[in-house]
Amino acid sequence: MPHQHVVHRGIKDALRAVAASEAAAASEAAAARFLHERCWKDGALFCPRCSADKIYTLGSGRYRCSACRYTFRDFTGRWINNGGLSCQNWLRLLDLFVEETTAHQMSIDLNLSYNAIYKALTATRFAIMAQALDFRQLLGAETGLGDYLKGKKLTGQRSRKTRRIIPVFGIIEKAGWVFIDLVPDILAETVLHFNANFQLRVIRTGNILYTDRYKTYDALILCCDASLPLQYIRNYERDAYVDSVGQAFWTFARSRLKRYKGVSAYRFPLYLKELEFRYNHRKQDLFPILAEHLCSLVPDNNQVARHLS
Ligand SMILES: [Zn+2]
């Protein structure tokens, strides 16, 4: 069976290479065409500002809306508009992301600075997170991640006035699907309190803490920083519910979480949502899905703000 799996993967990878990354290898124009098709369903252009569909083509890749006169390009207002990579490099980066290549290795393979790779990966992870039903909540005060967005652009830095928050997430696996929810009514301190006073088992691996079952969740999970009094955790060397045999998601996640050692508490939600995405699509080719997500429009930030207020 494992052999069959490998063969299947081999065919899948070959098909992907033909369908998509071939475009990258062929030329910048081919890669741009591939991404253009992901931006405009059936080639139908519309204005990213007012949604009008009567659009003039201006040349050199620019368009103008007949209704509001807005001038835009294929990537305007989309996640892929962040990072400044060429179209060929975007496709190469997605390919490497699917293979879970490290950012350091990507910068060598693509001959780009680590900083450029980091920005492009942040955009990719936001594009994944934007598909979550609780995306607007994920951008809220509980995580502070909304600070990254200015209009439809990722700024790459958080504002100084945001207070330090460590969000807590709950993991539920059901029928082969995993759901990783923000649990807004529980603080990191609450988890430690439950550990100290109500025997909730807490396991520590590097910066990451996870618990035994809690209410409907298989585990609570959080990424801590120096502000938490970790020395008071009791029984942290023992196993939790998710460590028991047959926990498919956790088996999938554990080795990957180990690689997240250097991840900050602030960026941790992006990595959790990436894990959720990888697990729930583990039987599919991630490349075309990622290309779609990356080419989708950034939700209106004002709407996010209104929603939260
Ligand atoms: Zn318009």
Which tokens sit at 155?
């700024």
State residue 4's pLDDT score.
Answer: 45
State residue 227's pLDDT score.
Answer: 78
State residue 237's pLDDT score.
Answer: 63
CA dist 23 and 91 (Å) reads 8
Distance from the CA of 51 to the center of ligand 1, in angstroms? 6
Question: 130, 16, 31: which is closest to 77 by C-alpha?
Answer: 130
Mean pLDDT, the chain, as a whole number? 85
Distance from the CA of 157 to the center of ligand 1, in angstroms? 30
Domain definitions of the chain by residue range: 159-265
State residue 2's pLDDT score.
Answer: 41
Q: DSSP string spanning 167-228?
A: --EEEEEETTEEEEEE-TT--HHHHHHHHHHH---EEEETTEEEES-BTTBSEEEEE--TTS
State residue 250's pLDDT score.
Answer: 92
Distance from the CA of 64 to the center of ligand 1, in angstroms? 8
Distance from the CA of 69 to the center of ligand 1, in angstroms? 6
Distance from the CA of 50 to the center of ligand 1, in angstroms? 4
Distance from the CA of 70 to the center of ligand 1, in angstroms? 5
pLDDT beneath 70, residues of the chain: 1-25, 156-164, 234-237, 301-309
State residue 180's pLDDT score.
Answer: 95
State residue 13's pLDDT score.
Answer: 56
State residue 306's pLDDT score.
Answer: 42
Longest dimension (CA), the chain: 67
Distance from the CA of 76 to the center of ligand 1, in angstroms? 12
Distance from the CA of 62 to the center of ligand 1, in angstroms? 13
pLDDT, one tens digit per residue, over 12-43 is 555 555 556 666 667 899 999 999 999 998 88
* Burial profile 252-261: b = 16 or more Cβ within 10 angstroms, e = fewer: bbeeebeebe
pLDDT, one tens digit per residue, over 74-118 is 999 999 999 889 999 999 999 999 999 999 999 999 999 999 999
